[in-house]
A and B are shown apart, each in its own frame.
Chain A
Amino acid sequence: MSRSSAYVLWSNPGNPPDSVARALRIDPRRFSRGLHKIKAASDLSGADRVVIYSDGTVTDAQGEPLGNLYDED
C-alpha cells in the first residue's frame, strides 16, 4: 500500500470528529461504521489510537496498516 502522497488527517485515540469523514468525502455514519469495524477486526478497542490518512488508510500507532476506510461500506 503506497501512502507516498497521503497526509495524516487524524492521529489520536477515540472517535475522530465528522470533519475527518468530510475530508475523506465519506458519509459520517459510514465512516464511523468503517472505522469501528477496522479497529475491532484488528483487535483494537475504540479508545486505541489510530492514524487516518487522506487516502483512507488506517494504521495503528506504530504505522502498521489495518485497513482502508474506502473498502468499508
Chain B
Amino acid sequence: MPKANRLETCTTKTEAAARGKSFVTLRFTGDDLDPAEISGVLPVEPTRSHRKGEEFFAGPRAGYLRGRTGMWFLATDKLVPGDDLHDHLAFMQKLLYPEPGDDHRIAELRSLLKRTHSCAHATCFWRGDPGEEAPQIPDAFKSAIAPLGADIETDFAPAV
C-alpha cells in the first residue's frame, strides 16, 4: 500500500475512535406505556421502542429480544453532529420545548406518563480526552426536564 494511503487509513481509524465521545439519552418506561403515544408527541424516530412483551430487533448479532417493559428510547449520537455535550442537551431541550415558552409537549408527556404510570429518565455520556475537564449539566436543562420528574444520570470519565 502506498504511504499516503496508509496515513489516510490511520487518520480514519483515529477519527472513528474519537467520534462519539458525548451523547444524551432520554427514555420513557412503564408496563402500560404504548411508545406510539410518545411518538405522537415527540416528532423524532426513537432509537428503540416497544411495548411490554413485544419482540423488537436489537441488532444483527443480538437478534430479536422481548421488551421487559414498555419503552421509548432516544439517543442523540446519530442525530447531533459533534462531540459537545451541550449541543446534545440543547437538541433534547428543543425537542421538548419547540419554542421558548411552548410547553405543550411537556404537558402532554406529563399527562401521558401519569395515566400510564410511567417514568422518564435522562442520561449523559462523556468520555474526555486526556486533561479535559468534565462538562457541567446546565441548570436550564435540569429545569427543562424537571416537570417530567426525570432523573439525570451522568456517565463521565476522562481518558487515562
Q: What residues of chain A have their CB less than 8 Å away from a CB belonging to chain B?
A: 1, 15, 27, 29-30, 32-33, 36-37, 40-43, 45-46, 55-57, 64-68, 70-72
Contact = CB atoms under 8 A, between A and B. Distances in A.
Contact of A40 (B16, B27, B68): B27
A56 B71 CA distance: 23
B17 A42 contact: no
B123 A36 contact: yes
Given A15-B157, A37-B75, A1 B63 contact: yes
A71 B59 contact: yes
B48 A68 contact: no
Interface of B: 16-18, 20-21, 23, 25, 27, 29, 47-48, 58-63, 65, 68-69, 71, 73, 75, 77, 121, 123, 125, 127, 153, 155, 157
A70 B62 CA distance: 9
A67 B59 contact: yes
B68 A64 contact: yes
Contacts of B20: 29-30, 33
Contact of B62 (A30, A37, A46, A68): A68
